[in-house]
Amino acid sequence: MKQRGRMIGEFFLIVTGVLVALMVETALEDRQDANLLDEYTTRIQSDIESDKRAIEHRIEFFVAVKQFSQTTLDWLDSNAAVDQEVLLASFYAAEVWPWITKLSTYEDLHGTGNLRLLKDIDLRTSLATYYKRADASRAGWNPSQDYREIIRGIIPTRIQSLIRRNCPTTDALDQKPTGFPPCVLHDIDYVRLAAIFEPLREDGVFRQKLTYRNSELAVMIFLFQDQVSYADAALMRITNQ
């Protein structure tokens, strides 16, 4: 009996030891997962906040670019002479400012299988929606180059260089310009420039491409605004988890 009692005691001691070890290991894994979740949450929140700021800057930027394209269209329908306003409006109507979503953290979550750490299904859905919408909208964030190629092919390179030196453009800076006109351009022969610009009034193809670009810019602004709303939804989920 003593032998059996000792064996039973040792059995329970071993089982208890194994259970305690498993509990300790589980607690350590849970702590590691919690730390990893905090790291991912901080990173992805930073990514989306950075995206949102970039998008909001581009909304402001392309609202101005769209106005320049409308100013150029209005000039085509008028009898006004070519002046600095027309020159700069036509140049700025062709501005571009690319943007790419920050994907590294989200791709890391997927690639490592750590998406499991996000227990909040609504958060996972919100993040998936944000990044899928970004992927689907990417083509719409970049307008066609047709108008840009025409107008940059017409404006003399010397004048384009003057604009880049004296006025803020995305051609000169790989970032948002600090502002749009007013800026002053000296030593420009507007009589000669008029000879280049005037035929554009009768150029149906040019008008068509500029009208299309103006429409594209409106769509771009809408898509950017739409993406901001998805960013806000994802950030709210992250904050409330």
SS3 for the chain is: CHHHHHHHHHHHHHHHHHHHHHHHHHHHHHHHHHHHHHHHHHHHHHHHHHHHHHHHHHHHHHHHHHHHHHHHHHHHCCCCCCCHHHHHHHHHCCCCCCCCCCCHHHHHHHHCCHHHHCCCHHHHHHHHHHHHHHHHHHHHHCCCCHHHHHHHHHCCHHHHHHHHHHCCCCCCCCCCCCCCCCCCCCCCCHHHHHHHHHHHHHCHHHHHHHHHHHHHHHHHHHHHHHHHHHHHHHHHHHHHC
pTM across the whole model: 0.83
Tell me the average pLDDT of the chain.
85
Phi/psi region, residue 187 (left: phi>0; alpha: psi -120 to 50; beta: rest), is left
pLDDT score recorded for residue 97: 87
The highest-confidence range among 61-65, 180-184, 222-226, by mean pLDDT, is: 222-226
Residue 127: name the closest of 48, 56, 54, 222 by CA.
Answer: 48
Domain boundaries, given as residue ranges, for the chain: 2-240
Q: Give the Cα separation of 132 and 99 in Å (integer).
A: 16
Q: Check residue 36 and give its pLDDT.
A: 82
In the structure, what pLDDT confidence band is assigned to residue 220 with cuts at 50, 70 and 90? very high
* Cβ(64)–Cβ(88) below 8 Å: no
**Residue 14, pLDDT score:** 63
pLDDT of 17 above 60? no
Q: Is the pLDDT of residue 159 over 60?
A: yes
- pLDDT at 212 (0 to 100): 96
Confidence check: pLDDT of 78 > 80: yes
Please determine, for residue 33, whether its predicted confidence score (pLDDT) is greater than 90.
Answer: no
Residue with the bigger pLDDT between 178 and 102: it is 102
Residue 178 pLDDT > 60 = no
- Name the band, by pLDDT with cuts 50, 70 and 90, for residue 99: confident
Length of the chain measured in residues: 241
Q: Is the pLDDT of residue 2 over 60?
A: no
pLDDT band at 175 (very low <50, low <70, confident <90, very high): low
Residue 200 has pLDDT above 80, yes or no: yes
